[in-house]
Amino acid sequence: NAGVIQTPRHKVTGKGQEATLWCEPISGHSAVFWYRQTIVQGLEFLTYFRNQAPIDDSGMPKERFSAQMPNQSHSTLKIQSTQPQDSAVYLCASSEWGFGNTLYFGEGSRLIVV
Amino acid sequence: SQLAEENPWALSVHEGESVTVNCSYKTSITALQWYRQKSGEGPAQLILIRSNEREKRNGRLRATLDTSSQSSSLSITATRCEDTAVYFCATDSAGNKLTFGIGTRVLVRP
Residue-range domain boundaries for chain B: 4-102
Going by pLDDT thresholds of 50, 70 and 90, the confidence category of residue A66 is very high
Compute the mean pLDDT over every residue in chain A, rounded to the nearest whole number.
Answer: 93
- The answer to whether the beta carbons of residues B18 and B62 sit under 8 Å apart is no
| B45-51 contact pairs (CB < 8 A, 24+) | B45/A102, B45/A103, B45/A104, B46/B74, B46/B87, B47/B74, B48/A101, B48/A102
CB contact B2 to A (< 8 Å)? yes
Q: Do A43 and B33 touch (CB under 8 A)?
A: no
Task: Quote the CA–CA distance of B49 and B85 in Å, as a whole number.
Answer: 21
From the list B30, B40, B103, which residue is nearest A42 (CB)? B103
- Average confidence (pLDDT) over A85-109: 90
d(CA A70, CA A53): 9
- pLDDT confidence of residue A40: 87
B4-102, which class in CATH? mainly beta
Q: Is the pLDDT of residue B90 over 70?
A: yes
Q: What is the pLDDT of residue A79?
A: 98
Phi, psi of B83 (to 5 degrees): -80, -10
B64 Cβ under 8 Å from any chain A Cβ: no
H helices of chain B, in order, are none
Q: Which amino acid is at B4?
A: A
Name which of A12, A11, A85, A76 is nearest A44 in CA terms.
Answer: A85
- B18 contact A CB<8A: no
Q: In sequence order, what E strands does B3-103 have? A: 4-7, 10-14, 19-25, 31-37, 44-50, 55-58, 61-66, 71-76, 85-92, 99-100
Report the range out of A21-25, A102-106, B31-35, B98-102 with the highest average pLDDT.
Answer: A21-25
Contact B31 A100 (CB under 8 A): yes
The sign of the CA dihedral B24, B28, B29, B30 is positive
Instruction: Check whether the bond before A8 is cis (ω within 30° of 0).
Output: yes
Is B60 in a helix, a strand, or coil?
Answer: coil
What pLDDT is stored for residue A97 in this prediction?
Answer: 77
A105 touches chain B (CB under 8 A): yes
What does the mean pLDDT of chain B come to?
92
pLDDT of residue B93: 67
CB–CB of B48 and A56 under 8 A?
no
Pick from A101, A105, A107: CB nearest B40: A107
User: Who among B2, B95, B99 is closest to A100 (CB)?
Assistant: B95
Query: Is the CB of B42 less than 8 angstroms away from the CB of A56?
Result: no
Domains in chain A (CATH in brackets) are: 6-42+49-102 (2.60.40.10)
pLDDT single digits (tens) B47-63:
999 999 999 999 999 99
Dump pLDDT digits (tens) for B10-26: 999 999 999 999 999 98
